[in-house]
Amino acid sequence: MTNFEEKLKRLEELSASIKRNDISLEDALGNFEEGIKLAKSMEKTLDEMEGKIQILMSSPAASDNDEKSAQEKKQGAKDSGGPVLGLFDESSEIIGTRKA
């Protein structure tokens, strides 16, 4: 089985089979074992997907980076290579709030 949906469908089939009244104990056990293997495989796949989602959610979007880059260019970013916050410029300093 190659994809998650196929595995889920097979697991549902196994579950329905186990619930039948006319299934032998040996067949039910075999279906149960196959179901456990499928469930573990699917859990691993879900964990991998969740990890990828976490990475995507925690990394900045490309459009955010482009927007920040455009803002830095507008503000005349210095060549120092350090971060440019742009919170205050020299003209916005309040006089008398700091000790000399």
In a domain, 14, yes or no: yes
Q: What is the pLDDT along the chain (100 residues), one digit of tens a residue?
A: 579 999 999 999 999 999 999 999 999 999 999 999 999 999 999 999 999 999 999 987 655 555 666 566 555 544 555 555 554 555 545 555 545 4
Domain that holds residue 41: 4-58
Q: What pLDDT is recorded for position 60?
A: 76
In a domain, 70, yes or no: no
In a domain, 9, yes or no: yes
In a domain, 38, yes or no: yes
Nearest one of 56, 75, 58 to 67, comparing CA atoms:
75
In a domain, 86, yes or no: no
In a domain, 80, yes or no: no
What is the C-alpha separation between 22 and 43, in angstroms, rounded?
A: 30
Q: List, as one string, the DSSP characters of 2-71.
A: -SHHHHHHHHHHHHHHHH-TT--HHHHHHHHHHHHHHHHHHHHHHHHHHHHHHHHHHSPPHHHHHHHHHH
In a domain, 72, yes or no: no
Q: What pLDDT is recorded for position 85?
A: 52
The domain total for the chain is: 1
pTM above 0.95, yes or no: no
Please identify which residue in the block is written with the tokens 């919170």: 87
In a domain, 91, yes or no: no
